[in-house]
Structure 1
């Protein structure tokens, strides 16, 4: 196995290992090295108001339910969307904190807390918590991302009050029993091994580490093994005390739910949230959000016995509030996705070229937005002997994006993008997720009608400008694992992408 770490504009560092590693083996440690660049942040524009020149909106958008939002004096926000006729509801707590908000010392704390939340509180044992949820026919879940932590419950509308009681209990009254903390270390380590068996998860973690080396976005969500083994109850409690504050939290609900009732429940169960940190906590580096600097570079992990290569190639994308956010959504749709088993994607020139040459098993385009930066790129699974041909095809297609996108291409992409967005809002859980995320991201909810208007305003010039901004003469980040001996050099890829 060979690991090559390459910095954008910097030197290479080569690590050689024995070639006798099993086909599916993965390294137990990771190496990263890269340089620095910058990113831009643009404030979200004000709400779009339709004019007589705009195309008429479909009646199902105009008749869509509205999102009711209430801000408490503490800074806590409550937002909900009632769906007439729905007997079920989803309610949850969205917290503006994830692995990005951690330090190198406590990286993994947010995810560790996600595990500990279900291990019992000062009012409920783990068994009682499980029985209570089961007796409601409900579902309780949580997840941690790089910028957000989320706890939510799906229940009957008549049980929303019980769900809110449970959510508040596991968030604010978790016992964090030292014995339970110790037992959970092994569970998280097993989860880490399972994640590392999935090449896509592994590659995208490597991609973030090399793209944002030196900043919080480069850290993994699970944290390093050393932290999992050393994080203490006090570390977890400190993370709660410094990040679970009223202004950083949104309570969202959707489905068979009443907004006034949800506000009353929020006041009852979350009314005692702290509103700010004390002076000592404000001085602590544990609460600092560092700038997400895209630095470029790549990491290559070569397994000589692997028949496939897994490659993620990315450029600095846009923040949620960037002027390029919506043009890049269209660009992502234009580049498209390809799976050999599903046949050709006739709307994407790249995917047509890949299919005609049988250059890859699959390609997926991703457009990941964060507060102040983003990643725009492709993830590909390739037979090792076709890696070079696939990269030549990808760079050629990316280079022509800044010039060859037509108005017809953009109109087709608009239809596909709007359909994808509407399908993503099917069900009260998806709507609740959208409400919570948008309030943390934008400070308000952009309705589907407003989003459609923003999409309709875009032209081919806007998409070409976004492509030029992302690809033209820009450093990239790349992570590659497997049979990658045919992968071109960093300089070759950079020089052929524009």
Structure 2
């Protein structure tokens, strides 16, 4: 049973009772991420996420951790380009503890200078770890390349220079302008007492008031067919090829997901079977769509020995041309749709996955599709829609590239296109 409530102050509550489980997942979602930042304070959203775990007026960082560890629960958070989420997963009998802890962190974090200085070092180490992982780094370089000059292309973690500029005033100012009741969703999935849950959320979040408003109406972002290459002393080189994708909330995402399963989305896909299994040119190869408000990206990734670069690019471009010309077969489409439905239904069995789906949908779109509606959208995918999406997305003359690794010369995509 799905229930949606909007408090008088604008905070939205979206909860789904699943009576046959013993767990409950609670998420506090805020509609702010790296896309809301300026270049001067890039990384502040992610930094604030870290800081909420550093201590409140009544709990130290250790006590926050102990509060959830002592009941065998989980607490974590993540920051994306357009949202930040703080969440717990506990036994249903401990939901009040989880709510109290999340509320305390959300409203009463102290942001002491000492903690800010310590956590700045932690995030700089996180950036360093990321830069030492070229297979992760290349996925950040592609958005920077295709959306150069727009906040959507900025890294979520920020940069060293930006982090050194962030202080307590920066944090307080950013929170006061972005952590707003109208920009917050409380998502709950699992087993709980409905009346008790709603009253508890009202008690914790109902008195939160501010005169500020925030409109996350991001405009259309221009996609740039470009490339970014970083030479790094590694055994493998890592390549991401990118096409302009489909924006969040557009039903064309369903045929694109169906195409992705066939083209590069799994171990049975065309790219995996040909380039890894038959040719043995790569260890890892896959593709995936990413969607945002008024923007989307379709990514093809592979990691390989640099000497296989030429063969890899020729094979991928050839497979893209085959996809453009012939599309996918009825049998491939049928199998892909079953794969999508199976993956979706299995995901519903996890309270944390369900909470994530509810929170993100409510925050980003303001609507929640029921499982039946989602399955109907998948069933409605046909070859006509698939061919339209292939024509829209796989425009080979608008392809972009990001590469990291032992690359001694420029990569000219023109000769492969």
Indicate whether the TM-score tops 0.5.
yes
Residue 362 of structure 1 deviates from its aligned partner by: 1.6
Residue 474 of structure 1 deviates from its aligned partner by: 4.2
Residue 487 of structure 1 deviates from its aligned partner by: 7.1
Residue 290 of structure 1 deviates from its aligned partner by: 5.6
Residue 217 of structure 1 deviates from its aligned partner by: 1.0
Matched, 1:324 2:252: yes
What residue is the counterpart of 1:351 in the other structure?
272
Residue 291 of structure 1 deviates from its aligned partner by: 4.3
Q: Which runs of 5+ in 2 are unaligned?
A: none
Residue 262 of structure 1 deviates from its aligned partner by: 2.3
Residue 370 of structure 1 deviates from its aligned partner by: 0.6
Larger Rg: 1
Alignment of 1:282-431 (within 5 A): 289=218, 291-303=220-232, 305-337=233-265, 345=267, 347-354=268-275, 355-404=277-326, 405-431=328-354
Matched, 1:182 2:117: yes
Partners of 2:234 and 2:123 in 1: CA distance: 27
What residue is the counterpart of 1:140 in the other structure?
75
What residue is the counterpart of 1:261 in the other structure?
196
Matched, 1:131 2:66: yes
Deviates more, 1:474-483 or 1:249-258: 474-483
Q: Is the 8 A contact 1:96 1:248 kept in 2?
A: yes
Q: Is the 8 A contact 2:218 2:294 kept in 1?
A: no
Q: 2:21 aligns with which of 74, 86, 96?
A: 86
What residue is the counterpart of 2:163 in the other structure?
228
Q: Secondary structure at the match of 1:292?
A: coil
Matched, 1:438 2:361: yes
> What's the TM-score, normalizing by structure 2?
0.94
Q: Is the 8 A contact 2:143 2:152 kept in 1?
A: yes
Partners of 2:144 and 2:86 in 1: CA distance: 26
Residue 350 of structure 1 deviates from its aligned partner by: 2.9
> What's the TM-score, normalizing by structure 1?
0.79
Partners of 2:378 and 2:238 in 1: CA distance: 33
Deviates more, 1:209-218 or 1:442-451: 442-451
Q: Secondary structure at the match of 1:424?
A: helix
Q: Which runs of 5+ in 1 are unaligned?
A: 1-65, 339-344
Q: 1:193-237 CA distances to partner (integer Å, 9 max, x unpaired)?
A: 111112222101111111111111111111110111120101011
Q: Secondary structure at the match of 1:119?
A: coil
Q: 1:11-57 CA distances to partner (integer Å, 9 max, x unpaired)?
A: xxxxxxxxxxxxxxxxxxxxxxxxxxxxxxxxxxxxxxxxxxxxxxx
Residue 485 of structure 1 deviates from its aligned partner by: 4.7
Alignment of 1:50-129 (within 5 A): 66-129=1-64
What residue is the counterpart of 1:52 in the other structure?
none
Q: Is the 8 A contact 1:215 1:290 kept in 2?
A: no
Partners of 1:424 and 1:208 in 2: CA distance: 27
